[in-house]
Amino acid sequence: MISVLSIYILAVTPDPTPIWLRTLAGLIGVVLGGAFGFFRGKVTPIRTGELPETIYVGPSLAASLLWVVAFGLRYWVRMSTHQLPILTALTDALILFVPASYVVMYWMLHRKYERLKGSPLPGENAATEIGDR
């Protein structure tokens, strides 16, 4: 919700930064956020829950720190006396980095869950399990 509100404010607030620079910074933020989310989704441990269609995701301090650092840095740049266009564009990249990383991370976790849910029980069909991978 914070990201959606921030993106909305960026869209309606007049800003002297050229639109091409803001767009480029936003694309860079999305690409870097997607890469971060991809690798974070690959290394995050998951397991199925006791109830059907439930999943437990291993805790990560990185997720909370990501929000705090991105929005803290954005606030610091916006409130500083150096209002360079490149710094303002950097704040756009920070706003889009966080949601992009979460979308890709959850997509990767969903894929992990589907593989985990579809795999046979340990010891069952062990020969075909090894051959399939």
Considering only residues 111 and 85, tell me which one the structure prediction assigns the higher pLDDT.
111
pLDDT band at 130 (very low <50, low <70, confident <90, very high): very low
**Nearest residue to 86 (alpha-carbon basis) of 5, 35, 37, 28:** 28
Coil vs helix vs strand at 55:
strand
Q: Looking at residue 119, what is its pLDDT?
A: 63
Q: Looking at residue 15, what is its pLDDT?
A: 65
The C-alpha atoms of residue 75 and residue 105 are separated, in whole angstroms, by 25
pLDDT digits (tens, 9 = 90+) for 56-94: 888 777 777 877 888 888 888 878 777 777 777 888 788
Q: Contact 52/59 with Cβ under 8 angstroms?
A: no
Q: Domain-by-domain residue ranges, the chain?
A: 18-118
Torsion angle of C-alpha atoms 43, 91, 89, 98, degrees rounded to 10 = 30
Q: Provide φ and ψ at 18, rounded to 5°.
A: -60, 140
Please give the average per-residue pLDDT across 20-27, as a whole number.
Answer: 86
